[in-house]
Amino acid sequence: MLQLEGIEKTYLSGDVATPVLKGISFEVNPGEYVAIMGASGTGKSTLMNILGCLDKPTAGHYRLDDVDMVNLDDDELSHVRNHKIGFVFQQFHLLQRTSALKNVLLPLIYSDDYPEEAEDLAENALTMVGLADRIDYRPSQLSGGQQQRVAIARALITNPSMILADEPTGNLDSRSGSEVMAIFQRLHRDGRTVIVITHDRDLAEHANRLIVLDDGRIAEDELVDEPRDAEAELAAMTQSEEAA
């Protein structure tokens, strides 16, 4: 469903050119759960911005569902983001003073047709991430893990082609982090395409495929033999907490 071909990204600040991505090529098939891993500063977020159509590569081609994103203008890219991509950010990026429900509904504001049953969809999405009883809560009334789960519900509301998550557990404690990873595994089992970006190998190994970036190039691209099971980790955590 997506193909990258010789993607390069070079930042220009004044006369200084900083090459960050130096020729990245890979494909992702529908339903894959991919982790993109690499040390800090290797260009993971830069790559995710391109995958998410938030930014354009300096060179190369990026095809999403057989359309070359390089040729689209800003409005068309906005449209693609709206109905094909669900973002999950490290900082959650929820609207303050706005209920969980309204936050989840936000992407639909910008869709061409606002479904009549939008609020039901949003409630279902919140239920799916375990927040059925927090629908009217505002971000300030929710824990970090709960806020990130609202963000995941928001990413799901438009039924996108893929979920793109950049360091989704970076601001969370390990238990909340595992809860988030468990949700991603569930989404993967339901057949969704999930791409998670992280610098943490333990986290990356929850995915079925691991792409390692190093110095702007792909250093490794392999399947994970036995992905870690977030549900099992959560159960283990609960057990050791009870023992203590």
Partner 1 sequence: MRVLRIAGEGMNSLAANKLRTFFMMAGTIVGIAALTVIMAIGKGTEKKVMKRVEVFGPRAMMLIAGGGRALPPPDTSVTTLTLDDAQAIREEVTGLEMATPQAWQFGVSLKHEASQIQAVVWGVEPQWHEAWDWHAAEGEGISDEDVATMSRVCVIGSAVKRDLFGGTDPIGKSLYINKVSLTVKGVLEHRGTTGGDGGEFDNRVILPITTAMRRVMNVDHVGAIRIITQDVSLMEQQARQIEDLIRRRHHITPDVEDDFRIITAAIIADMVRGTSRTLSLLLMALAGLSLLVGGVVLMNILLISVAERTREIGLRRAVGATRGDIFAQFLTESLSVTFLGMLLGSAVGAAISLAIGRLTPMPAIVSWEPFALAIAFALLVGTFFGVQPARRAARLHPVEALR
Closer CB to partner 1, 11 or 189, in the complex: 11
The Cα 33–Cα 70 span in angstroms is 24
Whole-number minimum distance, CB 120 to partner 1, in Å?
A: 17
Closer CB to Mg ion, 45 or 178, in the complex: 45
Angle at 121 between CA 232 and CA 124, to 5 degrees: 30
Whole-number minimum distance, CB 142 to ligand ADP, in Å?
A: 26
* In the complex, residue closest to Mg ion by CB: 45
Q: Does 205 bind partner 1 (CB under 8 A)?
A: no
Please, which of residues 59-118 interact with partner 1 by CB under 8 A? 74-75, 78-79, 81-83, 87, 89, 91, 93, 95, 97-98, 106-107, 109-112, 114
**Interhelix angle for 118-128 vs 100-109, to 10°?**
120
Tell me how far apart the terminal alpha carbons of the chain are, to the nearest angstrom.
47
Token representation of residue 39: 């040390």
* Contacted entry of ligand ADP, Mg ion, partner 1, none for residue 111, CB cut-off 5 to 8 Å set by kind: partner 1
Token representation of residue 185: 């595994």
Please, which of residues 44-83 interact with Mg ion by CB under 5 A? 45
Please, which of residues 127-186 interact with partner 1 by CB under 8 A? 154, 158
On whether the CB atoms of residues 193 and 28 are closer than 8 A, the answer is yes
Q: β-strand 85-88 against 2-13: which pairing, if any?
A: unpaired
Q: How many residues bind partner 1 (CB under 8 A)?
A: 27
The Cα 22–Cα 219 span in angstroms is 12
Token representation of residue 217: 């190039």
Closer CB to ligand ADP, 2 or 50, in the complex: 50
The Cα 221–Cα 74 span in angstroms is 31
Whole-number minimum distance, CB 198 to partner 1, in Å?
A: 18
Binding site for partner 1 (CB under 8 A): 49, 52, 54-55, 74-75, 78-79, 81-83, 87, 89, 91, 93, 95, 97-98, 106-107, 109-112, 114, 154, 158
